[in-house]
Amino acid sequence: MSQPFLQIDGLAKRFPSGKDDTLTVFENVDFDIEKGEFVCIIGHSGCGKSTIMNVLAGLDEPTDGVVTMDGREVSGPSLERGVVFQNYSLLPWLTALKNVTFGVKARHPDWSAERIRQHSYKFLEMVGLTNGAEHRKPSQLSGGMRQRVSIARAFATEPKLLLLDEPFGALDALTRGTIQDELLRIWQDSGQTVFMITHDVDEAILLADRILLMSNGPFAQVAESVVIDIPRPRKRTEMVHHPAYYKIRNHLVDFLSSRSAEIAASPREKDGSRRQPPTVRPGAEDDSPAPDAESARPHLVSLAG
Amino acid sequence: MTRSYDFRALLLSIVLLITLLGAWELATNTQAQGGGGELTEYERLMGAGSQRAGVPPPSEVIGKAWEELSDPFHNTGANDKGIGIQIAYSLMRVLSGYFLAALIALPVGFLIGMSPLMYKALDPFIQVLRPISPLAWMPLALFIIQDSEASSIFVIFICSIWPMLINTAFGVAGVRKDWVNVARTHELGPLKTAFQVILPAAAPTIVTGMRISIGIAWLVIVAAEMLVGGTGIGYYVWNEWNNLDLNSVIFSILMIGVVGMALDAVFARLQRFVTYTE
Ligand SMILES: Nc1ncnc2c1ncn2[C@@H]1O[C@H](COP(=O)(O)OP(=O)(O)O)[C@@H](O)[C@H]1O
Ligand SMILES: [Mg+2]
């Protein structure tokens, strides 16, 4: 059996709190992501989504556990993993164009200035940020435009894995819709793998192949992996008429409104074995859950045990 | 709108200037005349014209300024150098001391800013050394260096190093973690991170420190030159005071102000250049 593209094993993050005490944000987090998959993760704020993403990016170190990408352990940041930060994180002293060339230059130090410029323009065009706007500084751009620059920067370095932390949280609905469509188009054309944090259920259903649900912290876990059985291309307006849509949506809303808290309150079992979150398909034709092939997999690595 | 606002401000400045000069002129003139008519040459030599009568009116100062500025670089003997030459001496000292200070303060400040450990370790030294009046170093400097020229440069060095050092450390330490993370996710090395991310991010704070430093250096050079003598605008003021040439004293005070303003303006420009809005 070939290894999955991205494999997260027994991830835990604890912070010291008070004397001799620790706060466990999450633990026993195991999941896989296949190449080319678009995976969203949903959970209440504070459950540790950003922390998980920073660990995947190599910016933060887990207290326990291993992240493996393409068979290699993640031990620091890499250009193979592009990050779109929640607050865009553009460099404010550079123009939009320079922010993108910054990334391209880092990726291809041997390229000529002209080639770097052309490559950057390609991606600025892709997010619809040309004809003058590219020469403005981030402070002179609207939130939506800044987010486009941030996405262009991440895509222009052509990473194997894209990590997005609530990228559309601060945008108005109209702008969000446009950029979501752009993101989907670029993802489909490039075949990259995307891992995205969101707090918007509809956004997750529109974009994702699979949604990971996180229970509330502390001791948060990835409780379920929900497969989105809605064929692509999905259109915002047509999608809502698909029979699976409301089943999935209700499942997600139910999880967020009650089950996420119930799981957090239930007693925790402590065994070190690797457990993939159960896969559920609320949108499947028959209502019986699909056989869970993933959980049958022998456990691979366990640092906790 | 803003233009008429600026214009009104300018108008007000001019009105204030004229009022001030007028009052000054009036005060000094009535003084001279109220003292009881013309003084004889003898009385004047004996200082009978009272001390305040010696303060010249602005018209005389302007005359003196015209005279000096029409030939600023004349050099006819140790005690008769043009104002331009004296200022050039002072500027040369200020700039060498300042440049040396920047050469040390910027890298060291960077290091301290990057490393909380170094910050803590060097903090006590900085806290003790910083409040020392730069002129207090002068005797020690003269004794060790044995050269008045180098000593005044050293005094400039020591007074301008602190604001630059502290602001650089502060600016570098305060660079937003997000931007450092951008550098990290792009696999930038330490040198590239320093020059492409941390330096531009901290530049406004660093340049503010440099601006404070140049201001202090210009304040201190006048005092230092009064102490060591020889050349420079500080020596010039003191020398003219010894000559009781108050026209020259007032004129050189104004020149000190003008040069200080010009130095500050250069850094204000630099500051505008590196400032960014988030
Ligand atoms: N340095 C820290 N010390 C202690 N607790 C922290 C620290 N950083 C984050 N946390 C805690 O970790 C939890 C997860 O944070 P985060 O990953 O940002 O959550 P999310 O992105 O899901 O909203 C939060 O409850 C937060 O209080
Ligand atoms: Mg977050």
pLDDT per position as a tens digit, A248-289 = 999 999 999 989 888 888 877 665 566 788 888 888 765 544
**Residue B227 within any structural domain of the chain:** yes
- What residues does ligand 1 touch, defined as CB less than 6 Å away? A 15, 23, 25, 43, 45-51, 217
Task: Extract the residue ranges of chain A whose pLDDT is less than 50.
Answer: 288-305
Provide ipTM, 2 decimals: 0.86
- Widest Cα–Cα separation across chain A: 60
The whole-number average pLDDT for the span B19-32 is 81
**Residue B7 within any structural domain of the chain:** no
Q: B184: which residues sit within 8 A by CB, 6+ positions away?
A: A58, A59, A76, A77, B193
For residue B38, what pLDDT band results from cuts at 50, 70 and 90? Answer: low
In this predicted structure, the answer to whether residue B192 has a pLDDT above a threshold of 80 is: yes
pLDDT digits (tens, 9 = 90+) for B143-153: 999 998 999 99
The whole-number average pLDDT for the span B173-189 is 95
What is the Å distance from ligand 2's center to A48 Cα?
Answer: 7
SS3 assignment, position A33: strand
Nearest C-alpha to atom 6 of ligand 1 is from which residue? A15
For residue A17, give both structure tokens. Answer: 């709190």
Cα–chain-centroid distance for residue B196? 31
Measured between CB atoms, which of B187, B277, B278 is closest to A106?
A: B187
DSSP B193-235: HIIIIIHHHHHHHHHHHHHHHHHHHHHHHHHHHHHH-SSSHHH
Q: Give the integer Cα–Cα distance in Å for B168 and B177.
A: 17
> Nearest bound ligand to CA A48?
1
What amino acid is encoded at B220 in this protein?
V
Cβ neighbours of A76 in B, within 8 Å: 184
**Residue B68 within any structural domain of the chain:** no
**Residue B54 within any structural domain of the chain:** no
For residue A146, give both structure tokens. Answer: 């800044």
CATH number, domain at B135? 1.10.3720.10
Cβ distance of A137 and B184 shorter than 8 Å: no
| Angle value at C-alpha A254, between A248 and A255, nearest 5 degrees | 90
Nearest C-alpha to atom 27 of ligand 1 is from which residue? A46
Cβ distance of A85 and B178 shorter than 8 Å: yes
Measured between CB atoms, which of B182, B203, B274 is closest to A91?
A: B182
pLDDT digits (tens, 9 = 90+) for B226-276: 998 889 999 999 998 888 888 899 999 999 999 999 999 999 999 999 999
> Nearest bound ligand to CA A52?
1
Cβ distance of B188 and A59 shorter than 8 Å: no
For residue A297, give both structure tokens. Answer: 């997999």
Cβ distance of B277 and A59 shorter than 8 Å: no
What amino acid is encoded at A181 in this protein?
D
| Angle value at C-alpha B201, between B199 and B204, nearest 5 degrees | 90
**Residue B240 within any structural domain of the chain:** yes
Q: Give the integer Cα–Cα distance in Å for B8 and A166.
A: 50
Supply the pLDDT for residue A293: 43
The whole-number average pLDDT for the span B126-155 is 92
Q: Give the integer Cα–Cα distance in Å for A249 and A146.
A: 30
**Nearest-neighbour CA in chain A from B88: distance (Å):** 36
Supply the pLDDT for residue B39: 54
Contact B112, B118 (CB under 8 A): yes
Measured between CB atoms, which of B181, B203, B277 is closest to A89?
A: B181
What is the domain extent for residue B112?
A: 81-274
Lowest mean pLDDT among A50-59, A171-180, B181-190, B205-214: A171-180
**Residue B226 within any structural domain of the chain:** yes
Kind of pairing, strands A81-84 and A222-227? unpaired
**Residue B12 within any structural domain of the chain:** no
**Residue B212 within any structural domain of the chain:** yes
**Nearest-neighbour CA in chain B from A103: distance (Å):** 6
Cβ neighbours of A93 in B, within 8 Å: 200-201, 203, 274, 276
What is the Å distance from ligand 1's center to A106 Cα?
Answer: 30
What is the Å distance from ligand 2's center to A94 Cα?
Answer: 26
Supply the pLDDT for residue A294: 44
For residue B136, give both structure tokens. Answer: 């207090």
For residue B54, what pLDDT band results from cuts at 50, 70 and 90? Answer: confident
Overall domain count for chain B: 1
What is this structure's pTM?
0.84
Cβ distance of B186 and A107 shorter than 8 Å: yes
Kind of pairing, strands A38-42 and A193-197? parallel
The chain-wide mean pLDDT, for chain B, equals: 89
For residue A136, give both structure tokens. Answer: 């403005």
Cβ neighbours of B271 in A, within 8 Å: none
Q: Give the integer Cα–Cα distance in Å for A117 and A107.
A: 13
| Number of neighbours of residue B10 by Cβ within 10 angstroms | 10
Q: Give the integer Cα–Cα distance in Å for A60 and A199.
A: 22
* Ligand 1 atom nearest to CA at A43: 22
Supply the pLDDT for residue B52: 47
Residues of B near A (Cβ–Cβ under 8 Å) read 178-179, 181-182, 184-188, 196-197, 200-201, 203, 274, 276-278
